[in-house]
Chain A
Amino acid sequence: MSEELNERRRLSRREFLELGVAGTGLLLLTGCGGGQGGGSGTLNALFMKQAAYSETDVKNMTEQFQKQNPGIKVNLTFVAYEALHDKIVAAAPAGTYDTVLVDVIWPAEFASKKMIVDVTDRFPESERSKIVAGGLKTTEYDGHYYGVPWILDTKYFFYNKKMLGEAGVNPPPDTWDGVVEAARALKSKGVVEYPLIWSWAQAEAIICDYAQLLGAYGGQFFDESGKPAFNTGGGLQALEFMRMTLDEKLSNPASTETLEDDARKIISQGEAAMALNWTYMFALANDPKESQVAGQIDIAHTPKGPAGAPGVNGSMGMAIANGSQNQDAAWKYIQFMTSQKIQNQYAKLSLPIWKSSYNDKQVVQALPEVVPVAKKQLNDLILRPVVTQYNDVSHTLQVEMQQALTGDKTPKQALDDAAKAVAETMES
C-alpha cells in the first residue's frame, strides 16, 4: 500500500510542477503591441514634476479635457525629470502608459526601439507649419514625427538687478566676458560670496549648460563625419570657461551637486546673482511666496560668446506609447494639451509652441518681460547630439566634465577621454 501511496504523491508532485509552470506562463503572457481603441476609455499619462507647467496646471488642463470629452478618463502620474527616461523604458513592455512626455534628446532612442508611435499621418504639414521651427525638431527623428512638441524651452540668463546695481554693474552683461567682469565686481565689493550658480550636477542639466556655452564659443559636438569634436575649439573653450569660474571662486563650488531647481532656490534666497535656467524660474523667483528676492530677478537672452548666443533646445513633447491600447483617445488628449487655446491660457510657466501665440495678448500679458526675450531666443537654438545611444554619450560627458570641474583632470584631458569613450560607444 505504501508504495501505491507514494506513487500517487509522486504523480501529484509532478502535476504541481506542471501546473505551477503553466500558471506562471499565463501570468507572464502580457499583451504586446498597441491598439487604436474607440476614442474613449481610460488613459494613463506620464508627466514630470519640475520645471515648465506645474502639477496643478497639468491637473487643471486635464480636467478641462475630461469635461469636453466625458467618455475619456485620464489618470496622471508625475515623476522627477531625472527619473522620467527610465520610467518610460521600464513601463514600455507592459504598456502602462498611453501618453508619455519625451525630452528632445530621446526620440532617436525611443523611435528606433519602437517605444513611441509614429504620428506623422495624424500631424499634418498644415499644423506643423504653425509651430516654432526649433520646437518642431523636438519630436522629429529620421524625417518622421513621433509626437507633438508641448514645452518650448531654452535656458535664459537670469540676474538679480538689485545686486548688480549694488556692484555698480550697469547695464547688465550681455556677453560671457561681461558676466565674468560683473561676477568679479560682485565678489570684490562683497555683494555676494559666489555670484554665479550653475546646475552642474551629474545629470542632463550640466550638458544643457555646456551645450549653450559650446554654441557661444563656436564648438560642435560632432564633426561632419560624425566623429566627436567637442574636445577641440569651442567645445574645449566652453569647459575651460566653466573651470575658470570655479577656480576664481566666482561660481559656487556647490554647482557640481546642483540641479536647475536647486539653482532656482539659491537665486531665490539671494545667495547668487546670476544663473542660466528655464523659463519657469522667472515667475517663481519673482513670486514672494517662493522667493526672498521677488521683483529683483530679470530675464535676458543668453550671453554672447565669440560665435553667438544660441540657447540650448530644451523642449519636450507628448508622444503616444507603443503599448497603448487606446491610441485614438491618447491622440485626442495630446491634441487638446498642445492646442493653442490651452497653451495660451497656461503661458505663465511655459510658453506656447505656436508661432502666433507670441503676439497674443493673453500670452504677452502673462509674461510681459519674458515674451520679447523668448521671441528672439527661440529662433536661435542649439540641439544636443541626435544619436540613439544618447544616454550613454551624455553620461560619459557628464562624468568627464565633472572630473575637470572638481579638479581631477584638466579640461583638455577630460574631453579627450570623453571623445575616445564616445567614439567607442558609437561604434558598438
Chain B
Amino acid sequence: MSQARAARLKKLPRTILPKGGAFRQGPTALILLLPSLVVVFGIVLYPLLRTLYTSLFDVNSAFPGRYPFVGLGNYLEALERTEFWAAILRTAYFTLSTTLLEVVLGILLGLLLNVEFRGRWLLRSIVILPWALPTVVNGAMWRWILNPAYGALNALLTQLHIIPEYRSWLGTPWMALNMVVVADVWKMTPLAAFFILAALQTIPRDLYEAAWVDGAGRLRTFLSITLPLLVPTILIILVLRTMEAFKAFDIIYVMTRGGPADGTQTIAYYTYVEAFSNQLFGYGAALAYVIAFFILCFAIIYMRLLRRGEVEY
C-alpha cells in the first residue's frame, strides 16, 4: 500500500471504514449475506427456473429422471383443452365478482367505521376478525354453515320463512361457485374496509368544510371529494385482490375440492389436479407459468394505472 493511499484512507469518515481496514469487509459480508443468498437461490430462483425447465418436458412422475423433451407442447396442449378455458373463465368470474363486491362493501364498511359513534372501537376490532382467520379455517367454517343437513344458513333461512325447506348449497356447479365467492368476500372485505378507513382519515377536514360552505350535500361531497381521493387506495385494493383471487386455491380445496362437476375448479386448482393427482408434472408446470403470465399482465396494467392515479391535496 502506498503512503499516499494510506493517507487518503485515513481521511475517509470512520463510519465507512470498520476497524481493521477496508479489506476485511469481503469475508464478513460474504458470511453475513450467505443465508439470504441461499434463500434467494434456493427457494425463489431455483424453483422458478426448475419449473420453467420442467414445463418443457413430458414429466409424468415426481421422481427425477429422463423424460422426453416436448418444447412448448405442454403450453399448446393447455390452449387446446376445453377444461383449461373453462377454468380460466371460472377464475375470471371468481376474480371479478369477489374483487368488485369486496371493494364496494369495503367502501361502505370503511365509511361506517369512520363515523363517530359509541362503541366504534368495538366494531372496529370485531370487523377485522374474518380477515384474521386462516383461509382453511374460513373454508371449513363455511362448509359447516352451508351444510345441507345441519348447516346454520338453512336453519336461519327456513326459520325466517325465506325458503320453505332445507336445500343444498354446494351441490350444483353454479350455486357452489357463488357460495365460494360469498365465503371469500366475507373474509376479505374487512381488509378492503381498513384500507379505505386509513385513506379516509388522511383526507383533510377543511375540504369537507369548504364543500359544506359551498352548499354541497352529503352525496355531492362523497362523489366530488371522498371518492376521487379514495381512488389510489381503491386501486391498491384492486391490485392486491385480483392477484390473490386469480390464484385462489385453498378456499376451493377446503370447500368443494373443485366440484361439483368441476364447477368450482379455478385455474390454480386445475393445475394442482393435473400435477399432483394425475402426476403430469410437466403439464402442471406449464399451467403454473400460464398463471404467472396472467398475473404479470395484471401487474403491468395496474402499475400504469397506479402511476397515473397519484393525488395531491
What is the interface of chain A, defined by CB distance below 8 A to chain B?
1, 5, 8-9, 12, 15-17, 19-21, 23-24, 27-28, 32, 82, 85-86, 89-90, 92-93, 109, 113-115, 193, 201-203, 252-258, 262, 265-266, 269, 271, 389, 391-392, 395, 398-400, 402-403, 406, 408
* A21 cross-chain contacts in B, Cβ below 8 A: 41
**B167: chain A residues within 8 A (beta carbon):** 253
Measured between alpha carbons, how far is A16 from B34 in the docked complex, in Å? 7
In the complex, which of the residues A8, A89, A202, A403 contacts B279, with contact meaning CB atoms closer than 8 Å? Answer: A89
Q: Is the pair B30, A402 in contact by a Cβ cutoff of 8 Å?
A: no
Check B278 against A389 for contact (C-beta < 8 Å). Answer: yes
22 contacts between A and B (CB under 8 A): A8-B23, A9-B26, A12-B30, A32-B64, A86-B272, A89-B62, A92-B63, A113-B61, A201-B260, A202-B257, A202-B260, A202-B262, A253-B167, A256-B260, A257-B168, A266-B149, A389-B278, A395-B273, A402-B259, A403-B261, A406-B172, A408-B173
The total of Cβ contacts below 8 Å across the A-B interface reads 139
- List 8 extra interface pairs beyond A23-B38, A27-B42, CB under 8 A: A8-B23, A89-B277, A90-B276, A93-B64, A252-B148, A256-B260, A266-B149, A392-B277
Partner-A contacts on B (CB < 8 A): 5, 8-9, 22-23, 26, 29-30, 33-34, 37-38, 40-42, 46, 60-64, 147-150, 165, 167-173, 176, 256-262, 272-273, 276-279
Q: Whole-angstrom distance from the CB of A320 to the nearest CB of chain B?
A: 16
CA distance in complex: A254, B149 (Å): 8
CB proximity of B266 to chain A, nearest CB, Å: 14
Q: Find A257's partner among B33, B38, B148, B273 (CB 8 Å cutoff).
A: B148
Cα A1 to Cα B23 in complex, Å, equals 12
Identify the closest chain A residue to B174 (Cβ).
A406
A86 pairs with B173, CB closer than 8 A:
no
Q: Which residues of A contact B257 (CB under 8 A)?
A: 82, 201-203
Chain A residue with Cβ nearest B143: A257
Closest 10 CB pairs of A and B: A202-B259, A254-B148, A20-B37, A402-B261, A254-B168, A257-B171, A256-B171, A257-B170, A86-B276, A24-B41
Instruction: Tell me how far the C-beta of B82 lies from the nearest C-beta in chain A, rounded to whole angstroms.
Output: 10
B260 A113 Cβ-Cβ under 8 A: no
The SS class assigned to the A binding surface is helix
- Point out the residues of chain A lying under 8 angstroms from B262, CB to CB: 202, 399
The answer for the CA separation of A113 and B258 in the assembled complex, in Å, is 26
CB distance from A368 to the nearest CB of B (A): 30
A253 touches B168 (CB 8 A): yes
Most buried by A among B8, B64, B261, B276: B261
The one of A85, A254, A402 that contacts B277, using a Cβ cutoff of 8 Å: A85
- The listed residue with most A CB atoms (<10 A of its CB), out of B33, B37, B149, is B149
* Cα–Cα, bound, A264→B30 (Å): 61
Return B133 CB to nearest CB of chain A, in Å: 20
**Does B149 lie within 8 Å of A93, measured CB to CB?**
no
The answer to whether B40 touches A256, judged by C-beta atoms less than 8 angstroms apart, is no
